[in-house]
Structure 1
Amino acid sequence: MHATLFRRRRPALACLNFLAATALVIGSQAASARATELSGGAKPVIEQFLLAQAGGLPGKVSIRIDTPMSGALPACDALEPFLPSGARVWGRVSVGLRCNDNGSARPAWTRYVPAYVAVVANYYVAGRPISAGDTLGAADIQPRQGDLSALPRGVVTNPQQAAGMVASNRIALGAPLRLELLRGATVIQQGQSVKVQSQGSGFVVSTEGRAMTNATAGAAIQVKTQAGQMLSGIARADGSVELPN
């Protein structure tokens, strides 16, 4: 009886093995297609477009453009590249291509081409375990180099972005410093007497006042003068307040 059941199951097992092998081949072909770089006239168009879009990024930019899963692109004499709304210009991106050959018999089309934009640059990490409320000094900021697209958004790429800032959360030794984990140091306390200055062409006017709130350097603050007038200005690192011109 067991031998009979085994003979009955052999065709089913063979079928399952065939399906599994077919799935592996298809998966391998799909992965191979995704990893193959795009050829043809569309590649330089996409490269130039991405380089222009990434022009303001720090560091060295390198681009890899893959063949879309749909295969090679149709012929086109006037390609128009674009990025989907809200897409960032580094890491894995999907670049849109429109073709609308005016006067050509070829139909218009739109395709999306996968690409990877690497941005290798300096970024900064914590040089020691940093507790919430600690003010960062030069020794607390250590440089590293890597692909920014593989790091969290908001990573510090300029030491001046972190120097003198206060940690709002605990930051582990060697962890990337991120702008959202830092806040400006308080330079003016609520109720503090402050000097209020207004500068113009060839003159400086100053008066005394009382800060109505706490403020970090560069933040807006209201000051009440001794005469009772409410003024709005910008807190400076030296604890003074500058009025807008």
Structure 2
Amino acid sequence: MKAAKIFSKPNRKQVLALSLMSLACLSQAAPISQVQDAAQLRQIALDFLTLQASGLSNDVQVTVGEVDKRLNLQACDNPNPYLLPGSKPWGKVTLAIRCTAPAPWLVYLQANVQVTADYYVAANALTHGQVISLSDLSKQRGDIAKLPAGVITAPEQAIGKTMQVSMASGGVMRLDALKSPAVVQQGQSVRVISNGPGFQVTTDAIALNNAADGQIAKAKTSSGQTISGVAKNGGIIEIVY
């Protein structure tokens, strides 16, 4: 007669050893989360800033600062770069890169964007109220990041507009120094055109204010009604429904 095998109940030390062995097996089988490559973040920033500034010139140089080495970010499926609200895409900028999956995080990078482009200065002394012509402009080339905001980069931005200030020869031409000519003048007889789905109504009115092309103009019709619309060349106020 064969003797029966007797299984003894494991003691606490054996249970603990088995548990540790199980945890070790699980840890080896579980995937290790990848760390976000810092070089990739800098390249994302470089590409984004280069694209943002490329509309101004094809001569763009971008330098991106180092990623904080203390960060330990999980690799992101789709990093999303963006500029902070109100930031210009040139000069010294702060760029944000956001991740939403698989783990949310947000990192900021410092960068310097140098944009070498054409800009315009006053070819001669300009006076308040003077209407700008092509002969009043002189083209220069340089890093526009070092120039005042709103610098004129194309002649059509200035030609036909009126100086709101006086400027010495060589002064940098800026958008805020110019005023667009009024296409609708106060007291002028204007034509009001109302456009909507499948209809157009035209009526005559008297302008109540001066307005440049694209600005809001007010007018009073013969019936005494006051209307508002967008001023257009030729003394027209357009209303779109």
With normalisation by structure 1, the TM-score equals: 0.65
Q: CA offsets per residue over residues 179-230 of structure 1, 9 Å max, x none?
A: 1111111233322222333457897643321111222222211111222222
Alpha-carbon RMSD across the aligned residues, in angstroms, is: 3.6
Q: What is the number of residues matched between the two proteins?
A: 201
Pick the structure with more helix per residue.
1
Deviation at 1:88, TM superposition (A): 2.8
Amino acid at match of 1:62: Q
Quickly say closer, same or farther: Cα 1:208–1:74, change in 2 above 3 A: closer
- Rounded Cα–Cα distance in structure 2 between residues aligned with 1:96 and 1:204: 47
Contact residue 81 and residue 95 of structure 1 kept, 8 A: no
Deviation at 1:65, TM superposition (A): 2.7
Amino acid at match of 1:65: V
In the other structure, the counterpart of 1:88 is 88
In the other structure, the counterpart of 2:171 is 175
In the other structure, the counterpart of 1:50 is 49
Deviation at 1:116, TM superposition (A): 1.2
Amino acid at match of 1:213: N
Q: CA offsets per residue over residues 150-185 of structure 1, 9 Å max, x none?
A: 111111122222121111111221222111111111
Contact residue 83 and residue 94 of structure 1 kept, 8 A: no
Deviation at 1:111, TM superposition (A): 6.3
Amino acid at match of 1:93: V
In the other structure, the counterpart of 1:237 is 233
Larger radius of gyration: 2
Greater CA drift, 202-211 or 131-140: 202-211
In the other structure, the counterpart of 2:143 is 147
Unaligned ranges ≥5, structure 2: 1-37
Unaligned ranges ≥5, structure 1: 1-38
In the other structure, the counterpart of 2:20 is none
Amino acid at match of 2:228: S
1:115 aligns to 2:108 (yes or no): no
Contact residue 73 and residue 105 of structure 2 kept, 8 A: no
Deviation at 1:149, TM superposition (A): 0.9
Contact residue 218 and residue 228 of structure 2 kept, 8 A: yes
1:192 aligns to 2:188 (yes or no): yes
Equivalent residue in structure 1 for 2:221, among 215, 219, 225: 225
- Rounded Cα–Cα distance in structure 2 between residues aligned with 1:216 and 1:207: 20
Amino acid at match of 1:116: N
Contact residue 84 and residue 96 of structure 2 kept, 8 A: no
- Rounded Cα–Cα distance in structure 1 between residues aligned with 2:151 and 2:107: 33
- Rounded Cα–Cα distance in structure 1 between residues aligned with 2:109 and 2:196: 54
With normalisation by structure 2, the TM-score equals: 0.66
- Rounded Cα–Cα distance in structure 1 between residues aligned with 2:236 and 2:101: 62
Contact residue 126 and residue 173 of structure 1 kept, 8 A: yes
- Rounded Cα–Cα distance in structure 2 between residues aligned with 1:95 and 1:208: 52
Equivalent residue in structure 1 for 2:155, among 156, 159, 163: 159
Quickly say closer, same or farther: Cα 1:151–1:72, change in 2 above 3 A: farther
Name the SS for the 2:119 alignment partner. Answer: strand
1:211 aligns to 2:207 (yes or no): yes
Contact residue 84 and residue 94 of structure 2 kept, 8 A: no
Deviation at 1:131, TM superposition (A): 0.9
Query: Percent identity between the aligned chains?
Result: 33
Q: CA offsets per residue over residues 105-129 of structure 1, 9 Å max, x none?
A: xxx9976543211122222222221
